[in-house]
A and B are shown apart, each in its own frame.
Chain A
Amino acid sequence: EAQVTQNPRYLITVTGKKLTVTCSQNMNHEYMSWYRQDPGLGLRQIYYSMNVEVTDKGDVPEGYKVSRKEKRNFPLILESPSPNQTSLYFCASSLRRLGDTQYFGPGTRLTVL
């Protein structure tokens, strides 16, 4: 089954404790992206990647890091999480570019205390 998976689905952590949210797709997609979703603000793009080793900032990259060492994986790293990073996070992928159908993962709800 074609899918985007994220782990963990739920995470409660404390300020300053480094964490990684994994994202994996099994569709051989080139384009992958991370978003955060907050009430009243909608989805905001954090980082995106056009292919292996090619990443770029979205609208709200501060406090986040990404890497794309393999085509299927695109982890999101919070080196020193803060309470304002409490949010619902989505990973997405599409075949080549934005106009292609973008498949979203199920979301990761992160709470930073």
Chain B
Amino acid sequence: QKEVEQDPGPLSVPEGAIVSLNCTYSNSAFQYFMWYRQYSRKGPELLMYTYSSGNKEDGRFTAQVDKSSKYISLFIRDSQPSDSATYLCAMSPSGGYNKLIFGAGTRLAVHP
């Protein structure tokens, strides 16, 4: 079983939709949670970073962490065609927080 599970999609939504992307994990030691966006033929870029449980909002993006369920989510409001990319969750334990474990990524397509 992988430490971090992420539905690969693809997920196809119309412009303006609310998108929900999710990851589950098995290691209860994870304390740092991140979401990266990766456009085709590019390196990933950090979107959101959260420590421990709770919500964090940045513009149209909201990250949620539920440590009791070992479940994290990224919500994208008012999705745009420019949001079409692969979204990767990543997490790290508190003790060795320089090791980063990624999910496999979810491909998102937002069509006009």
Instruction: Report whether B102 and A43 are in contact in the complex, using a CB–CB cutoff of 8 Å.
Output: yes
Instruction: Report whether A104 and B99 are in contact in the complex, using a CB–CB cutoff of 8 Å.
Output: no
Surface stretch bound by B, among A12-20, A69-77, A78-86, A93-101 = A93-101
Known contacts A90-B43, A106-B42, A107-B43; is-contact A99 B102 (Cβ 8 Å): no
- Verify if A21 is at the interface (C-beta below 8 Å from B): no
Q: Which residue of A lies closest to B49 (CB)?
A: A99
Q: Which residue of B lies closest to A44 (CB)?
A: B102
> Contacts of B49 on A, CB cut-off 8 Å?
99
Interface of A is mostly: strand
Least CB distance from B29 to A in Å reads 14
Instruction: Report whether B97 and A59 are in contact in the complex, using a CB–CB cutoff of 8 Å.
Output: no
**Residues of chain B from 22 to 66 with CB closer than 8 A to chain A in the complex:** 32, 41-46, 49, 51
**Residues of chain A from 45 to 67 with CB closer than 8 A to chain B in the complex:** 45, 48, 50, 56, 58-59
Contact of A40 among B4, B8, B97 (CB under 8 A): B8
CA distance A103 to B42 in the complex (A): 11
- Verify if B100 is at the interface (C-beta below 8 Å from A): yes
> Contacts of B103 on A, CB cut-off 8 Å?
42
Known contacts A40-B8, A42-B104; is-contact A106 B99 (Cβ 8 Å): no
- Verify if A41 is at the interface (C-beta below 8 Å from B): yes
Q: A4-B43, A42-B102, A43-B44 are in contact. List 6 more A-B contacts (CB 8 A).
A: A42-B88, A48-B98, A58-B100, A101-B46, A106-B43, A107-B43
**Complex A-B: 25 CB contacts under 8 Å:** A31-B98, A35-B102, A42-B88, A42-B102, A42-B103, A42-B105, A43-B90, A43-B100, A43-B102, A44-B102, A45-B101, A45-B102, A48-B98, A58-B99, A58-B100, A90-B44, A98-B32, A98-B98, A102-B46, A103-B45, A104-B42, A105-B43, A106-B43, A107-B41, A107-B43
